[in-house]
Amino acid sequence: MIRTPEIPRVQETTCARHNHRLRDGIDALGFRLVPLTPPRRRRIVARTKADNSAGEERAATPRLALVGAVEADVPSSGFGGSSMSGVRGSFLRSRGGRLRRAIATSSGILALALSAGLWLGGVAKAQETQIIYPGSMAVTGFPGTTIPDFDQGLPPGVDPIDETFIDTSRASLRVFNVSNLGGPASGQLVNTPPPFEVTAGQIGEVFGLAYDDGMRDGVPSGVPNLYAAATSLHGIEIVTPDTDNDGRPERQRRGAAGAVFMDGQFGTENGGGPGTIWKIDGITGAVSKFADIDTNSGPGIGNLAFDATHREFFASDLDTGLIHRIDIEGHLIDSFDHGVAGRPAHGLEPVADDGAAMDIQAAAFDSEAPETWGYTQDARRVWAVAYHGGRLYYSVGEKAEIWSVGIASDGSFAGDPRWELTVKADQDYAVTDIAFDNKGFVYLAQRGPVENRYDYSRFASSGKGELIRYWREDPDDPATESGWVKVPEEYAIGFPQGNRQSAGGVDLQYGYDAEGNLDTSVCTDTVVNTGDKLRDNPELAERLAAGGPLAVHGVQLTPSALVKPANVPPFGSWFVDFDGYFEDPDVQGHVGDVRVWRPCEGRAGYYEEIPGGYLPPFYPPDFPPPGNLPPCVDVEDVHYYCTPRGLRAELTLHDHAGFGGDSIKAQSRTSGVGVTTPMSHVPGKPYTVDITGHNPGDTVNVGLCFYRKSDQDKGGYYPCCKMTLPLRTPAVDCEAPRRER
């Protein structure tokens, strides 16, 4: 019989469920509260007078160009929104933060259009206060467009779209405060405080995001840094030097001698490129170049992941298909080649990189044809990466497969790639983001195929991307090849027909109470995901109008329990717009990834990694902490088995204290080793723990929580008997047969 070590005495924690009520205008996390009622807005039609000055009139139907504006007394926070620039009919529609003109190309008539940005917050710069708090939600997206010196006019016959460029003064990354959503979810747009912004001029266009652990000079600060990776998922734009002496470079559709990436594409002004990972200091907001995969020719980086155990990053390279391992200082350590080292583990032929590269000066390059951009072959193209349970999970190809590879105790790739599942969805779309919760679910977000319209209107095919979740079979079904369930659950994303508006980003957020206030005692009860045209449905327009504008491109927040058929249509969700513009219902792919800073102060009963180690367990008043009392549970027997997942330990527990527990949760307390437990337990049967990433014969320390499921189901804190169990694993390699196939 293996006896449990004595549980040390701990002081009663001061943790308690936060009461996020309106009090003194400040919420529980220290954020200033703002009204959630959408401000009244007016439409402005800009007409051309005889003297070519701009005249305004209030009108219900615009004649030339529609632009959004706010009353002078409206707070600068706005709603959030999206931007677009494109030729519609005979005039250019363009948005940004400066005066612009629109040219009716068919008649040569010059018209003025005013464009007002709703976000009036400054760009990223050093601050005295931190920019990232628990629950902070970072979102990437297309920054919008501008015509430089537009107020000076364009010559007759010039197509305005040829003179339209990425607006480097606007943000490609925003960090939102979503601690107070203003009320129960009803499908409404949430009015957030002004977000922290990083402009395209500083970092270019970015997609993938990650937070680190907040360690500063070896000391946990509780405030992480944010990392953003260069991308081609918001298009590739190129220019050649100015030849018509208008002060603007010449925009090019195809490769040409002397071509360079457009300003705002990759942050080249700050030394960036298509393989750059940027670092945003979580306290000061200062932006710096963190790492550079200088072999990336233009496709950019698929996504990022951070391994807090070994303090290292992983980045998927869309150019070569490699997964790069990067240390905390930004140095590239080594790489994993799925095409060569991963595929054979599932009986597939190895596929080496074909060496294709993006050459924007070659005639073969076409900015509207992604197949000319130098992406590695689909069979080896890694998109999403996520570290979980001692393994790095990653997605491959358009017909998405999910794989994983172990991370050894020294942080290196363990050389044990494993096919996990092939995504079951209506469309073979790439999975560009992966997230795990603390209940055993894995969440997968699809993004439509890469596009790049010359008018900036579309960067991905939208309207069929799904957000789904899988969980492991329990018990494992030997008739199925995968250890995951065959059919996933799906979420309703957006209001358009089909509710499949995923833009490819997903993460987990804390829970929210009945009034829409963030509840940091509930760790992963909200799914956040990016999407296009989230509130656009003509059949529901009247009902939706009460909750704000309809042309919303941004983030949907949904209680994680609301899988289909629940929440169809998604009136049980909240919505946050990316950039504050609402006159662009037809754009697609303008929103990117989302990442939440979510250190779990969590429910007692689940160990969650946080800066500085583990929080002490919480003991309610009716369940006093152990002192000289005997342990509340013993492990009487342990049996080991090899399963398709690796090593399984079956534990026979003795509840000699009469605690009445019927469930366990577990977390590895041994570096580099992954530990998981099934989502349910059969009464009267042993409790099971799956172990991966260890060396046969090693002793693995497992943190156990023994609790009553009925207590957990009530929500909030609940009694939990905690212990650390040292398991001496057998000298048998359960994964050897898979590696030998």
pLDDT in tens, 75-94: 333 333 333 333 222 223 33
Classify strands 287-292 and 165-166 as parallel, antiparallel or unpaired.
Answer: unpaired
Name the pLDDT band for 389 (thresholds 50, 70, 90): confident
Q: Is the pLDDT of residue 314 over 80?
A: yes
The answer to whether the beta carbons of residues 673 and 575 sit under 8 Å apart is: no
The pLDDT of residue 183 is: 95
The pLDDT of residue 715 is: 65
The pLDDT of residue 716 is: 62
Most confident option among 55-64, 114-123, 638-647: 638-647
Task: Give the mean pLDDT of 439-450.
Answer: 95
Exposure class string for 479-505: b at 16+ Cβ within 10 A, else e: eeebbbbeebebbbbbbbeebbbbbbb
Half-sphere exposure of 596 (CA within 13 A, CB side): 32
- Bridge partners of 619, per DSSP, are none
Residue scoring higher pLDDT (98 or 231): 231
Percent of the chain, pLDDT > 70? 77
Name the pLDDT band for 720 (thresholds 50, 70, 90): confident
The answer to whether the beta carbons of residues 425 and 483 sit under 8 Å apart is: no
The pLDDT of residue 66 is: 25
Name the pLDDT band for 73 (thresholds 50, 70, 90): very low
The pLDDT of residue 635 is: 81
Residue scoring higher pLDDT (57 or 637): 637
The neighbour count for residue 425, using CB atoms within 10 Å, is: 20
User: pLDDT tens, 290-301?
Assistant: 999 999 999 999
Weakest mean pLDDT among 62-71, 244-253, 353-362, 421-430: 62-71
The neighbour count for residue 305, using CB atoms within 10 Å, is: 21
> Is residue 13 classed exposed, middle or buried when 0-12, 13-18 and 19+ CB atoms within 10 A define those classes?
middle
User: pLDDT tens, 582-601?
Assistant: 878 899 999 999 999 998 74
Task: Give the mean pLDDT of 167-176.
Answer: 98
The answer to whether the beta carbons of residues 169 and 234 sit under 8 Å apart is: no
Task: Give the mean pLDDT of 199-211.
Answer: 98
Query: Residue holding tokens 């989302």?
Result: 594
The pLDDT of residue 114 is: 27
Task: Give the mean pLDDT of 211-220.
Answer: 91
Query: Residue holding tokens 């155990």?
Result: 309
Mean pLDDT over the full length of the chain: 80
Which of 510, 505, 563 has its CA nearest to residue 534? 505
DSSP 65: -
Half-sphere exposure of 341 (CA within 13 A, CB side): 15
Residue scoring higher pLDDT (575 or 150): 575
Q: Is the pLDDT of residue 659 over 90?
A: no
The pLDDT of residue 607 is: 31
Most confident option among 98-102, 329-333, 682-686: 329-333
Residue scoring higher pLDDT (125 or 387): 387
Q: Is the pLDDT of residue 108 over 70?
A: no
Q: Is the pLDDT of residue 17 over 80?
A: no
Residue scoring higher pLDDT (609 or 195): 195
Opening angle at CA 518, ends 517 and 520, nearest 5: 145
The phi, psi pair for 728, rounded to 5°, reads -90, 105
| DSSP one-letter string for 281-335 | -TTT--EEEEEE-TT--SSBEEEEEEETTTTEEEEEETTT-EEEEEETTS-EEEE
The pLDDT of residue 415 is: 92
SS3 537: coil
The pLDDT of residue 323 is: 98
pTM of this structure: 0.74
For the chain, the straight-line distance linking the first and the last C-alpha, in angstroms and rounded, comes to 37
The pLDDT of residue 30 is: 39
The pLDDT of residue 593 is: 98
Six-digit token string for 77: 């926070």
Task: Give the mean pLDDT of 698-724.
Answer: 79
The pLDDT of residue 121 is: 33
Distance CA 142, CA 164 (A): 14
Name the pLDDT band for 735 (thresholds 50, 70, 90): low
Most confident option among 112-126, 283-297, 723-737: 283-297
Q: Is the pLDDT of residue 570 over 80?
A: yes
Weakest mean pLDDT among 227-241, 449-463, 601-615, 617-631: 601-615
SS3 482: coil
248, 250, 252, 257: CA torsion to nearest 10: -130
The answer to whether the beta carbons of residues 302 and 337 sit under 8 Å apart is: no
Distance CA 394, CA 391 (A): 10
Task: Give the mean pLDDT of 597-606.
Answer: 56
